[in-house]
A and B are shown apart, each in its own frame.
Chain A
């Protein structure tokens, strides 16, 4: 089994456990082991935009050092926010000797970071290394008839230096959905921002955005929204509960991680799946769902 140097991030150990459970299961089914770094720290969550502030690069660069210590020149993440923070930090310091020197001098108890670790998102591994055909071959319960609205959010696509796909018209989640037999739908808010941390101080922004995003997905006849960001997942699903209470006739739409969609099609551990989606799948694949 081929090993990938895996950086989970805090959320996948906590509120987004189903993301990790399903991610591990589908990768194993495809012949890959997500080998978690032995030591790692929070990536910092948000990339610091201050050009001369190296202090806030210490956290992500320390994780790059951990990969280097593990003998790897690559870190794979599942969480799109970790991806963005680590990737931007790597681009900020790799090849910049002055920044590397300063950081290495500060982190004098660590081995020097050589500036060689590349950060990739699992979706890139699936698309570029494994390929849609191999994924299709592994499907044992095709999700025929299931309509999927991809939700990219920001951090997989912006800024464009770190985009894993066309930042304006990405297709990787649609292609993945198609590979597992589902039908991707087109709707106008796939690359919108959900409101991110505004949920703390300006909940109204997130509620308003969730309403807009989810209503558009419903108008496009989606059965489920698929994401790769635990914060998008939290914002969309948590504020939906509020919409159910406050908006007449609002119907909750299930939201899952892309790895859960794959796990459902592979017949491996998908973690917790929203009841509405389970019911839908039962109707779609009555015979196959048994057992």
Chain B
């Protein structure tokens, strides 16, 4: 694959919507498209791989397989055919998390299409976060909400899995529901947090906060430097 040079820079060719552009090597897909003159009004957000807005489908010349990536995280390669997916039209179930019954069939009840999974693993192959997407669908299917929440924890809701699934499953919405159920009904309640919240509500810190709002910057800095740190629980390691 030939690479051009412009102004002494190494250039690569990319194909966007049927047009070929020459862009500097080493750019991310997002930067390369902007270099080529495209402006992102949708499909870009954090530019740091966290928001999931910049789903990209691409294919390399000479390869029949489609590849999936985040445009802000992936470097352009020579001969890439690029398509941006700024939005995934996946429906989301409506529920009131305080009113649902968190039994083992609840995910199936709100997202019955998960039962259509044929274990093709296409969702996993599409995931730019390297999540075992098929495995979390499978654990949802057998009512294991905790495992679904755990396996899907790094999901950034980019929607690529759902665009690819032959069973039309809405993976990320379903998984979000699993994590919400886990958070509300299954994870252990942190006692110290409950206590602190109650103290805040009772106004224990109001006077102190009011005072801090009016002190000078210097006093504030001194107070920050002298702050009391919570001791790490025994056996845990903490790096600051």
Contacts and interface: CB of A to CB of B under 8 A. Distances in A.
Interface of A: 10, 13-14, 39-42, 44, 55-56, 58-59, 62, 106-107, 109-110
Interface string B118-137: 11110011000000101100
Given A13-B143, A14-B143, A107 B138 contact: no
Interface residues of B, number: 17
A7 to B, nearest CB: 12
B142 A62 contact: no
A62 B125 contact: no
B113 interface: no
A121 B199 CA distance: 58
A42 B121 contact: no
Contacts, number: 43
B118 to A, nearest CB: 6
A85 B197 CA distance: 53
A282 to B, nearest CB: 31
Contacts of B125: 109
Nearest to A110: B121
A137 to B, nearest CB: 35
B71 interface: no
B135 A41 contact: yes
A58 B167 CA distance: 14
Contacts of B143: 10, 13-14
Nearest to B117: A42
Contact of B121 (A14, A40, A56, A107): A107
Contacts of A13: 104, 142-144
Count chain A CB atoms within 10 A of each CB in B104, B118, B144 and give the residue with the most: B118
A86 B58 CA distance: 36
Contacts of B132: 39
Contacts of A39: 132, 135
A15 to B, nearest CB: 8
B54 interface: no
A40 B105 contact: no
A10 B142 contact: yes
B141 interface: yes
Contacts of A107: 121
